């Protein structure tokens, strides 16, 4: 049974490959959209304030699309590193130490994507039946809730880590060089 559970970690490869394919699809779609957006902007020949506004909206939406692709890629690589090969050579900024770090990365990008949605709505088509205050307040409320969740979750995980370190220190004892007191 132990061997079975040991190999079960490779089930995450389904998610790794799926996220990698999804990220690739988003990047390819974003690349094609970039080319068609730029070609369309020059093809329309609207070199005025309105043309600039339309191009700006489309480019902001492209940023959002590429951010999504980046999150999919980082999550795929992070899951692979956590479950399959922790020794995979990665740049420091791409290396993931825990599932919590992946969750924080995802939440951070969701917050940025929501801000981009808001900027796109301000610059472009306004959601019908809402005012700028209503829409901005709704997005701010969600961002505040996500930020609060990240903060609370981070404190919980930090507390769990401190308890684990203390238990390990007690189990090893001072003779092993561990101490339950923090160094100053």
Q: Is the pLDDT of residue 182 over 70?
A: no
Domain-located, residue 184: no
Closest CA to 70 of 144, 19, 8, 129: 19
Rounded CA separation 12/119 (Å): 36
Domain-located, residue 182: no
The band of 127, judged by pLDDT with boundaries at 50, 70 and 90, is low
Contacts (Cβ under 8 Å, ≥6 apart) of 37: 55, 58, 59, 62
The residue-averaged pLDDT of 128-141 equals: 81
- Domain residues for 10? 2-174
Q: Is the pLDDT of residue 125 over 70?
A: no
The band of 140, judged by pLDDT with boundaries at 50, 70 and 90, is confident
The band of 22, judged by pLDDT with boundaries at 50, 70 and 90, is very high
- The three-point CA angle 82-75-160 to 5° equals 55
Rounded CA separation 85/95 (Å): 11
Domain-located, residue 69: yes
CA distances from 141 to 2, 24, 176 (A): 46, 32, 49
What's this model's pTM, rounded to 2 decimal places?
Answer: 0.71
Domain-located, residue 156: yes
Rounded CA separation 174/151 (Å): 33
The count of structural domains within the chain is 1
What pLDDT does residue 69 have?
94
Rounded CA separation 89/164 (Å): 28
The band of 173, judged by pLDDT with boundaries at 50, 70 and 90, is low
Domain-located, residue 183: no
The residue-averaged pLDDT of 35-41 equals: 94
Eight-class DSSP state of 45: T
What pLDDT does residue 24 have?
98
């Amino acid at each position: 049974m132990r061997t079975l559970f040991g190999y079960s970690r490779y089930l995450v490869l389904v998610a790794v490959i799926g996220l990698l394919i999804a990220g690739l699809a988003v990047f390819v779609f974003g690349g094609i959209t970039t080319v068609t957006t730029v070609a369309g902007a020059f093809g329309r020949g609207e070199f005025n304030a309105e043309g600039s506004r339309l191009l700006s909206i489309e480019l902001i939406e492209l940023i959002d699309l590429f951010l999504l692709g980046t999150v999919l890629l980082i999550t795929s690589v992070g899951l692979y590193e956590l479950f399959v090969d922790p020794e995979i050579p990665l740049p420091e900024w791409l290396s993931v130490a825990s599932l919590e770090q992946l969750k924080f990365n995802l939440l951070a990008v969701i917050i940025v994507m929501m801000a981009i949605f808001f900027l796109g709505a301000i610059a472009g088509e306004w959601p019908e039946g809402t005012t700028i205050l209503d829409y901005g307040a709704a997005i701010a409320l969600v961002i505040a809730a996500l930020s609060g969740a990240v903060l609370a979750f981070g404190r919980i995980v930090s507390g769990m880590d401190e308890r684990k370190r203390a238990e390990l220190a007690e189990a090893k004892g001072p003779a092993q060089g561990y101490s339950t007191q923090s160094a100053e």
